[in-house]
Amino acid sequence: MGTTKIIVLHLKQIIKSCVFTLIGLILIGLLIFVFIPKNKEENQKTSSIYTPGIYSSQIILHNKPVNIEVNVNENEILAIKLNDINETQEVFYPLFKPTMEMLSREIIHYQSLDIPTINDYAVTGKILISAVDNALQKARVY
């Protein structure tokens, strides 16, 4: 009979430990549920980088303006285009179109204007990146 009482006491301790463990897990689950954000859209609205839309900046080439359009959504750059460039400007500035295409791919891929420029197109690249930066400044949410 003496051994039976010892077994009953250990069983009570095991049951108490299980109950306290269960209560602890429920409390941890409740804390996680309370502190995890419920709606991802609410968080994205507060942390958006850009106002969605198409923004433009101008460069003067051969005494005529050329528009650089930047299409953005709330958090990323979607497209960059060189518009309104005529044949005369293309003849006098043959590197602008291919450099813009290359920079556009890189900027969209890295989502940053901090990209390496090719030394052969360094001046052209700086002019185009500056124009894209001007358009992005208009799109930024402050």
What are the pLDDT digits (tens) for 74-87?
999 999 999 888 88
pLDDT-based confidence at 115, cuts 50/70/90? confident
- The residue-averaged pLDDT of 122-129 equals 88
Q: Are 70 and 113 in a shared domain?
A: yes
Q: Are 26 and 83 in a shared domain?
A: no
Q: Does any domain span residue 10?
A: yes
Q: Are 66 and 117 in a shared domain?
A: yes
Q: Does any domain span residue 43?
A: no
Q: pLDDT tens digits, residue range 53-106? A: 999 999 998 889 999 999 999 999 999 999 888 888 888 888 889 989 999 999
The reported pTM is 0.66
Q: Are 14 and 58 in a shared domain?
A: no
Task: Phi first, then psi: give them for residue 39, nearest 5 degrees.
Answer: -125, 115
pLDDT-based confidence at 108, cuts 50/70/90? very high
pLDDT-based confidence at 22, cuts 50/70/90? very high
| Average model confidence (pLDDT) across the chain | 85
**Is it the case that residue 12 has pLDDT exceeding 90?**
no
- The residue-averaged pLDDT of 11-35 equals 91
Q: Are 9 and 56 in a shared domain?
A: no
Q: Are 6 and 71 in a shared domain?
A: no
**Is it the case that residue 121 has pLDDT exceeding 60?**
yes
Q: Are 24 and 54 in a shared domain?
A: no
Which residues, other chains included, contact 90 with Cβ-Cβ below 8 Å and sequence gap of 6+?
96, 97
* Range of the structural domain that residue 108 is part of: 48-139
The tally of domains found in the chain comes to 2
pLDDT at 67: 93
**Is it the case that residue 5 has pLDDT exceeding 70?**
no
Q: How far is CA 31 from CA 14, 83, 92, in A?
A: 26, 54, 66
User: Which strands form 64-72's sheet, in the order they lie side by side?
Assistant: 53-61, 64-72, 77-83
pLDDT at 17: 92
Q: Are 54 and 31 in a shared domain?
A: no
Task: Phi first, then psi: give them for residue 66, nearest 5 degrees.
Answer: -125, 130
70: domain CATH number is 3.90.1010.20
Q: Does any domain span residue 41?
A: no
Q: Are 73 and 116 in a shared domain?
A: yes
Contact between 133 and 113 under an 8 Å Cβ cutoff? The reply is yes
